[in-house]
Amino acid sequence: MTVLPDDGLSLAAEFPFATHEQWQRLVEGVLRKSGKEVSGSAAEDALSTTLEDGLRTRPLYTARDDAPDPGLPGFAPYVRGSRPEGNTAGGWDVRQRHTARTEHAALADLENGGTSLWLVLGEGGFPVAELGRALEGVYLDLAPVVLDAGRDTEQAAEALLRLYADKGVADTAVRGNLGGDPLGYEARTGTALDFAPYAALAARCAERYPGLRALTVDALPYHEAGGSAAQELGASLATGVAYLRDLTEAGLSIEQAAGQLEFRYAATADQFLTVAKLRAARRLWARVAEVCGAPGAQVQHAVTSPVMMSRRDPWVNMLRTTVATLAAGVGGADSVTVLPFDHALGLPDAFARRIARNTSTILIEESHLARVIDPAGGSWYVERLTDELAQAAWEFFRSIERDGGQSAALRSGRLRTDLATTWAERSKKLARRREPITGVSEFPLLAEKPVEREPAPEPPSGGLPRVRRDEAYEELRARSDAHLAATGARPRIFLATLGSAAEYTARATFAANLFQAGGIEPVTEGGFEASGATEAVLCSSDARYAEQAEQTAESLRAAGARHVFLAGRGDHAGIDSYVFAGCDAIDVLSSTLDRMGVS
């Protein structure tokens, strides 16, 4: 949105005024060249992209797409941020996660850019008894501590509060979160926990520790089970409402109950959706608080998505987490945890932890991201996406409430079914490479040296599944690795290139990428007999296929090829199957490995 200065100077004065209708006519012309006869809004729809939750992103947003008033930063409905100053007072809280007690690791994080600690104890972490040693040397009155101890929350909380007392930290200086999340634990494990100890911790915090919260509403279990952004928001909202009910029944006022909650969300490399998700989350919780009579903004902790992290070519994860961190900062998260690039491989090393810390530091200190309040505010696209996502999430939340609330949705299996349905649809896109994974489904490097890490503690399981984008491709690559270990060579496929380089290069590159995604080594040099392959793929232009495909396929069979692919579409004699953009890569690669005897 442009505001002209008082003198009327307009930098666009020499350009003619353009209307939305004129733009649509230009779009119609472009689509007509591609064989699509559409006009008006239909032309715009043809360039739109369908997202999960029934959302659609359009190619152009204008003032007429403006969403409901998001308010001002620091004021209800808090779409533009929970504080009037945003993160300008030094940036967001850089929260480092620890699942194992490494000597002075926590202190090293705090001395080198971290501002708070997230400690995983008990199941999936280190023993509660080692909490004191893990925090050795840490100034607890300066660094907030967030616990994540599952069924051991009460024991861990007592150990932490005792540590505060032993170190002489004043009650008013205690900050952080005790991490109680019984519904989150149930989602992870399928085991229900009594809420009474959590209510007691919340009452204790409300009465004695004004800077300490007792409960975390963790939406990561729903994200990691394959849920969409709206499902993640809706489930977190239902969990938060359930905790408000339980806390007020335990004797806390609604203001005290609301003040005991911190919300945790996943930040992904889909930057605009992440920005919209965090903004929508604050708006939705503001509506709940308004109805309950508990004014106040949602406190948010964003974590870079474990689902998007790849095990192959893990260095690319640095780029993914950078985009996700940027989105979390722009979206207004109060705290951000950047998972190290080797998170999916085991315990991160010192280098990975340093890169994770510095990701936030660079965005805050060098990119000056925190110097702007609500950087996405005023973008018609972001405002509209925020509104549409909030509407979708509210409907999902209402459906959970109609079914009896979050605990009922977990115990009936309804939530598991909803999340599985969403993940099944997304898996189809991943299989067809409509959602590419760089270094895995696109541009894989078979010769890369594996990154080795010590095993991390096994996280709690038994409830909702944990999925990863790379899981189907990882299974194929594991089969190839086993074959390499057993035979000394990877399974191979011969690329039979026809004609000139201009004719075959595009499709040969496509075929090489496709088969390498399944751990199958493409061979282009020499003839088929010397390649060590049992299958081949023809790569060239459609015109060349019409002339030579059948004859070449016959020659390949005579040389011993048991299966002949063609890169492209068509109907050619002698061709067993076709590979093309949008084909089911997982099915193609799995069946190919089966035929090659790669178990």
pLDDT band at 1 (very low <50, low <70, confident <90, very high): very low
Asked whether residue 511 carries a pLDDT value surpassing 80, the answer given is yes
Share of the chain above pLDDT 70, in %: 98
pLDDT band at 9 (very low <50, low <70, confident <90, very high): low
Among 55-64, 91-100, 110-119, 441-450, name the one with the lowest average pLDDT.
55-64
Contact 331, 278 (CB under 8 A): yes
pLDDT band at 504 (very low <50, low <70, confident <90, very high): very high
CA distance 590 to 518: 8
Asked whether residue 14 carries a pLDDT value surpassing 80, the answer given is no
Asked whether residue 101 carries a pLDDT value surpassing 90, the answer given is no
Centre a 10 Å sphere on the Cβ of residue 475 and count the other Cβ atoms it contains.
15
Secondary structure class of 561 (helix, strand, coil):
coil
Asked whether residue 7 carries a pLDDT value surpassing 70, the answer given is no
Residues recorded for the chain: 599
Asked whether residue 4 carries a pLDDT value surpassing 60, the answer given is no
pLDDT band at 10 (very low <50, low <70, confident <90, very high): low
Asked whether residue 158 carries a pLDDT value surpassing 90, the answer given is yes
Secondary structure class of 246 (helix, strand, coil):
helix
Mean pLDDT of all residues in 320-338: 97
Tokens 């490494």 found at: 102
pLDDT tens per residue, range 447-476 = 999 999 999 999 999 999 999 999 999 999
Contact 444, 308 (CB under 8 A): no
**Residue 520 DSSP code:** P
Mean pLDDT of the chain: 94
Mean pLDDT of all residues in 272-280: 97
pLDDT at 327: 98
In a 10 Å sphere around its CB, with 0-12 CB exposed, 13-18 middle and 19+ buried, how is residue 19 labelled? exposed
Asked whether residue 20 carries a pLDDT value surpassing 60, the answer given is yes
Centre a 10 Å sphere on the Cβ of residue 491 and count the other Cβ atoms it contains.
24
> How far, CA to CA in Å, does 590 sit from each of 49, 383, 494?
29, 43, 17
